[in-house]
Chain A
Amino acid sequence: MESAHNINVDMSVRIGALELRNPVMTGSGTFAAGREYAEFMDLGRLGAVVTKGVSLNPWAGNASPRIAETASGMLNSIGLQNPGVESFCANDLAWLAEQDVPVIVNVSGHSLAEYVAVTERLDAEDAIDALELNISCPNVDEGGMAFGTSCAAAADVTRAVRAATGKTLIVKLSPNVTDIAEIARSVEAEGADAVSLINTLLGMAIDTDTWRPKLARTVGGLSGPAIKPVAVRMVWQVASAVSVPVVGMGGIMNAEDAVEFMLAGATAVAVGTGNFVDPATTMHVVDGLERYCRERGIDRVSALTGALKR
């Protein structure tokens, strides 16, 4: 047999103007700006770091408890706590700029004007390679998911933000909709270079001793292995509906999970909750993906994208 085990696997993928050394990124909000994880892994071996959501002004986030564990996953209602864009640029970004890894900044806003203002501010930063527009956070009262659950609103905010930046623009979609492919088509039509999905699924858990919700905010976003089948299905639907690249996420814990997303149509993947379980999960996914390809004689990882057999 051909010595498949010796082939060199080309792990690079392309998202808009962005060339990534491999398809493995971090899920926004689960990795801060990477600093905490640098003690446990090599940031330079990631496809990209995707930062926590950044807004124009500081946001305090929601009351505690902010998380509740559920079967094979967790609910969170952090509420996009962040120090605001100026502090982000002065601290987190300044640190990230020194690391050898592409930087994707997740953008949040309460209103269209805020989304545009943050984008304009971030557009001025050379250290940023791409923006991920978060129109899918279920944990804030105004803005967030409200922009991601109607085609018209999603199109409006994408158009406005597109006009404010020349950087690669990824729009992060909410799974809390009837037809996610329709939303994906709307943002593609307004100039999104890629879409990422899924953000968390709106959920709820109740303490049967106290009869109270387990989260102070009552409802929150479900993530982790529990949501993976829903996420894979949505990636498959969206990849079939648009021609821009798809970044797939939702419950990825290992390389096989990542392969599933790629076969369904994802060009790249992100690990979110998996970082909490093992801070080196992303490294295991990178190594495992390469091994997976090598063992099967696949010479470039991008060959997996959309290769689903039917």
Chain B
Amino acid sequence: MSCASTHEDGHRLLERVTVVANDRVTEGVGLIVLESPRVARAVRPGQFVHLRISTGTDFILRRPFSIHRAEEDRLHILYQVLGTGTRALAEKRRGEEMDVIGPLGHGWEIPEGTAHALLVAGGLGAAPMGMLAEQLSACGVAVTVAQGAPTAERLVGQGVFEATARRVLTATDDGSAGEHGFVTGLVEGALATDRPDVVYVCGPEAMARIVTAQAAAADVPCQVSLERLMACGIGACLSCVVTTTDGQRRACVDGPVFDAAHVVWDVSEIPPKH
């Protein structure tokens, strides 16, 4: 496998997919597995799909979801049940069909010469990092994962992290697993002891912003995966803009992964709290 990747994003497909499994992972979080041969073979770490959950007219827009893992013909999506769309997603049963557009967006890049990577995930921020951890470890990169969640039960994606990372550090808001506190409290220590060549971060924007500053202070390049509300998902509608030092960029095409040093953080752009 080639390891350094500063890839061109490939062709996008509209594919009819079948639900293979859809199981509860923990309170309010599910894992859906889709038979999606064409997208599964093309997707790269950090990319997402735009899933058509409803074909009725109650709600009409697709919903964007990161690919947590891809194995052969199958896509694994970790999802948090928040509103109408994700509630309907949780109701999908084995054998049901949907359609997806994907793979979409620009994912994580592995800089030339990376020997050690630090992955920082807050809550469902673990979702786009499963494939990344797998690819890094397959390339012989030493992986450290720093993961945070409100409680021990809400630490998701641990299976893939434990299988691929040299160290998995955890923090919970209530102290039920790992350190008592926020994941950002783990990052400074990990930066100092592991001296990673790159930091990858995904989670609530306030947390991603702190990690960006921590990485910058340690002079380590940092990539961040951002969420925006999306209508088209393919770059046409300008719903999803992110302000960067290079001007306005579309999260669905130029992101969702951005060079964190280029992001102009603006609290007003954080989607409404759920």
Contacts and interface: CB of A to CB of B under 8 A. Distances in A.
B238 A207 contact: no
A44 to B, nearest CB: 18
B194 to A, nearest CB: 35
A275 interface: yes
B220 interface: no
B59 A72 contact: yes
B5 interface: no
Given A37-B234, A209-B274, A279 B101 contact: yes
Contacts of B235: 32, 36
B244 interface: no
A77 B73 CA distance: 39
A60 B248 contact: yes
Contact of A64 (B57, B232, B237, B268): B268
Interface string B46-63: 000000100001111110
A167 interface: no
A279 B57 contact: no
Contact of A76 (B11, B14, B99, B231): B231
A40 B14 contact: yes
A210 B238 CA distance: 25
B57 to A, nearest CB: 5
Contact of B12 (A30, A39, A73, A277): A39
Contacts of B233: 276
Contacts of A214: 272
Contacts, number: 109
A36 B50 CA distance: 14
Contacts of A212: 272
A252 to B, nearest CB: 12
Contacts of A65: 228-229, 269, 271-272
A72 B273 CA distance: 23
Interface string A264-278: 000000000101111
A210 B270 CA distance: 13
Contacts of B58: 71-72
A115 interface: no
A277 B60 CA distance: 6
Nearest to A73: B60
Size range of the chain A interface in the assembly:
35 or more
Interface string A26-47: 0001111000110110000000
Contacts of B11: 39
B236 interface: yes
A31 B52 contact: no
B89 to A, nearest CB: 15
B155 interface: no
B273 A210 contact: yes
A165 B143 CA distance: 62
A67 B59 contact: no
B229 A72 contact: no
A72 B12 contact: no
A65 B271 CA distance: 6
Given A276-B61, A279-B14, A81 B248 contact: yes
A117 interface: no
A74 B236 contact: no
B239 interface: yes
Contacts of B248: 60-61, 81
Contacts of A31: 236
A284 interface: no
A216 interface: yes
B62 A276 contact: yes
Contact of A32 (B14, B61, B236, B273): B236
A287 interface: no
Contact of B239 (A78, A207, A277): A78
Contacts of B14: 40, 278-280
Given A65-B229, A280-B14, A71 B59 contact: yes
Contacts of B191: none
Given A66-B229, A71-B59, A280-B14, A36 B236 contact: yes
Given A65-B229, A74-B61, A277-B60, A30 B236 contact: yes
Interface in A61-108: 61, 63-69, 71-74, 76, 78, 81
- For A30, A67, A68, A78, which residue has the most chain B Cβ atoms within 10 angstroms? A67
A64 B241 contact: yes
B60 A225 contact: yes
A224 interface: yes
Given A36-B235, A209-B274, A225 B229 contact: no
A54 to B, nearest CB: 13
B245 to A, nearest CB: 15
Given A36-B236, A81-B248, A224 B273 contact: no
A36 B272 contact: no
B229, B237, B271, B273, most chain A CB atoms within 10 A: B237
Given A36-B232, A39-B11, A279-B101, A61 B60 contact: no
Interface string A293-304: 000000000000
6 contacts: A64-B241, A67-B239, A209-B273, A216-B269, A273-B60, A278-B52
7 nearest A-B pairs in the assembled complex, by CB-CB distance = A32-B236, A36-B236, A64-B269, A67-B239, A276-B231, A36-B235, A72-B57
